[in-house]
C-alpha cells in the first residue's frame, strides 16, 4: 500500500472537520447541477453525516494523529465530490459518496467511543 502524502495533521482534526463540513454545505448547495436522484441521495447522506460530525467536533479523539489523518483523507474525498458535482458528473460524485459513507460511520463511531485513559 502506498503511503499518502499528508501535511502535519497533529491536533488539527477539529479544524479539518469544520472545513469538511463547509465543503459538505457547498456540495449540497451546488447539487442542482446533477440529476435529481443523485442529488437527493448525496444531500441525504452528507446532511446526516454533517449533523453527526457537528456534534463531535470538540471531542478529544479529533486531536489525535490518526483522527487527523482520517479527517484529511475524508476532506480530500469531499473535494473530489465537490469537483464532480460542479462538473455535473452525478455518477462519479455518488460513487465517491457511497465509498465515503462507511468510512465516515466508522470514524464517527470511533470518535464517540474514544476513552481518554490517564494512568
Q: Tell me how long the chain is.
A: 119
Cα–Cα separations (whole angstroms), residue 100 to 43, 96, 115: 13, 6, 25
Cα–Cα separations (whole angstroms), residue 79 to 7, 26, 72, 86, 114: 16, 10, 11, 10, 27
What rounded mean pLDDT belongs to the chain?
88
Position 46 scores a pLDDT of: 92
Q: What is the pLDDT of residues 5-18, one digit of tens each?
A: 777 888 888 999 99
Q: What is the pLDDT of residues 29-53, one digit of tens each?
A: 988 888 888 889 999 999 999 999 9
pTM for the whole structure: 0.86
Domain range list for the chain: 13-112
Q: Is 2 exposed, middle or buried (0-12, 13-18, 19+ CB in 10 A)?
A: exposed
Amino acid at each position: 500500500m502506498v503511503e499518502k502524502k499528508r501535511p502535519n495533521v497533529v491536533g488539527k482534526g477539529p479544524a479539518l472537520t469544520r472545513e469538511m463540513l463547509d465543503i459538505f454545505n457547498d456540495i449540497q448547495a451546488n447539487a442542482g447541477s446533477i440529476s435529481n436522484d443523485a442529488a437527493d441521495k448525496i444531500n441525504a447522506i452528507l446532511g446526516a453525516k454533517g449533523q453527526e460530525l457537528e456534534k463531535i467536533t470538540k471531542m478529544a479523539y479529533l486531536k489525535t494523529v490518526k483522527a487527523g489523518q482520517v479527517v484529511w483523507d475524508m476532506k480530500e474525498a469531499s473535494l473530489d465530490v465537490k469537483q464532480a458535482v460542479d462538473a455535473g458528473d452525478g455518477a462519479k460524485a455518488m460513487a465517491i459518496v457511497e465509498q465515503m459513507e462507511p468510512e465516515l460511520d466508522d470514524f464517527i463511531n470511533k470518535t464517540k467511543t474514544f476513552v481518554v485513559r490517564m494512568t
